[in-house]
Structure 1
């Protein structure tokens, strides 16, 4: 996970540290990293684009995706299409109508309008990032819909205020496991008014995951504090 020195972000040492964190039952759904201060270099914003890392040898999104965003990247939700990519550790939701898994976007659909699969801005592409294998990981529905959206909303708000934002998301895997233990999200605006660095546990209330293969089983003891 060699961080590009020019724009900072998650270091190899911090990646390992996060990979070894265990969620404590009943604990908070996320934890602050580096006192909630991003390690991205704010003056590295040069061009509106996303740097998508290649999948690793296990087909996982285990390296950072880094986005250099501006107002025009706020996406129109009505252009979303059905997702069909099956990321590492993916299983279909078959639990009495309860959604357990989501295809989690690293760089959110809602802030990637105009970005093509190679990460360049194309004004003809009005949609956000959709079925890009380099940008999707197997994420719990709870982590994706209840927690990650909080931080994506902060990024959207800054973009709507015409700020330029660097946003980095890294799915964190332990060893050769196919399902991520969590995801590191960090962002900074070039004026410094937006700044966060958090780690979201990839957990689901009422379910227990086998991170080796992503399978879930019902466990009513599992509680997550929002």
Structure 2
């Protein structure tokens, strides 16, 4: 109501100025100057710009709609890089593995409640055989362009069984668990996501308790995710991040509907936030 009154008052003021100018018999040039002054008093629409490196309070659908442009950062801050998780919800050491959707995709976030004992020994890794949706491996030289990307990384899931409970007899981290794997580019996994997993691993080694929620982001019924959202917070608040990582690979373009790819001139900087 206050805005309407202000707008009505301003409009009446402009009209009064114009009428006064006519009554005073001003010259055309003077009338034009008066009119420009009056227009300056009118309220103007505020323009908004979207920063490609920041998506405040973005929903899953909004993240899925983002398109990557060659040369831009492949990491986007979500909610000003602050997690939306509640530190007080950490009660016991376990992982909530979401069920696969009707297309057998890991399209719902997994949530891990982690502590120091979950830091795994890499020497216990085994060869992965699972083929997540959209899996069409290709090599550049001798380097694979795709990885079986873990939502909750092997390195921070020691002792977590496939049902998500802690089992002290299980010494390795999560490996061939369909509910925890998605088709991820080698660059997204090994150069970008690993940076944030290292932050979590460091916090755990320092005795922190951490809530971690990775979420593969699919667009519509596509079988290969467009990216992955990672957010984590420690119970003392010293660790806190919320990012979206595009699922892209330098030199390749993907058909996300089925995961096939072709060579291209796509450039992806090796930078994080």
Provide TM-score, normalisation by structure 1. Answer: 0.93
Which protein has the bigger helix share?
2
Gaps of 5+ in 1: 1-11
> How far, CA to CA, are the matches of 2:157 and 2:90 in structure 1?
16
Task: Give the aligned partner of residue 263 of structure 2.
Answer: 218
- For residues 76 and 173 of structure 2, the distance between their equivalents in structure 1, rounded to whole angstroms, comes to 28
Residue aligning to 1:173? 218
The 3-state SS of whatever aligns with 2:175 is coil
What do the CA deviations read for 1:123-177 (whole angstroms, capped 9, x no partner)?
A: 0000000000000000000000000000000000000000000000000000000
Aligned residues: 214
- C-alpha displacement at 1:225, in angstroms? 1.3
Q: Residue by residue, what CA displacement relative to the aligned partner does 1:179-215 show, whole Å, maximum 9, x if unpaired?
A: 0000000000000000000000000000000000000
Aligned to 2:91: 46
Corresponding residue of 1:159: 204
1:79 is matched with which residue?
A: 124
Aligned pairs (5 A) from 1:63-212: 63-212=108-257
TM-score, structure 2 normalization:
0.77
SS at match of 1:102: strand
RMSD: 1.1
Greater relative contact order: 1 or 2 (C-alpha under 8 angstroms, separation 6 or more)?
A: 1
Higher gyration radius (CA) = 2
Report Cα offsets for 1:56-95 as digits up to 9, x if no partner.
0011000000000000000000000000000000012344
Distance 1:93 1:71 in 2: 37
CA distance in 2, matches of 1:49, 1:144: 23
Which consecutive segments of 4 or more residues in structure 1 shift more than 6 A?
none
SS at match of 2:144: coil
